[in-house]
Amino acid sequence: MKDVWEPLQTVFEDTGVNKRCRLSGKSVSISASTVQLYSSKVMPTSQKLTDVVKETDNEMLTVLLLQGLTRQYSPY
């Protein structure tokens, strides 16, 4: 089964730059009324990004996640 799945996965799984850009954009465009709701919406997207980018930069993920927070949580 694995010998069939891996070639199919390679052909049909989009792990390219376009998917990374789309997921990054999606993570910063998510909005919610509470941090808990925001977190529940953004974490699946960040996990997908981590799955696509095998060596994910944690600092970059943090920046993407923080960009979507409301002004109420801004450090400025």
Number of domains in the chain: 1
pLDDT band at 20 (very low <50, low <70, confident <90, very high): confident
How does the average pLDDT of the chain come out, rounded? 75
Domain containing 62 equals 16-70
Stretch 48-56: mean pLDDT: 73
Higher pLDDT, 75 or 29: 29
Nearest Cα to Cα of residue 63 among 20, 32, 15, 28:
28
| Whole-structure pTM value | 0.54
Chain-centre distance for alpha carbon 18: 13
Residue 7 lies in a domain: no
Residue 1 lies in a domain: no
Q: What's the rounded Cα separation, in Å, for the pair 18 and 41?
A: 21
Residue 22 lies in a domain: yes
Residue 35 lies in a domain: yes
Q: Which residues of 1-15 are buried (b: 16+ CB within 10 A; e: fewer)?
A: eeeeeeeeeeeeeee
Q: What's the rounded Cα separation, in Å, for the pair 38 and 65?
A: 9
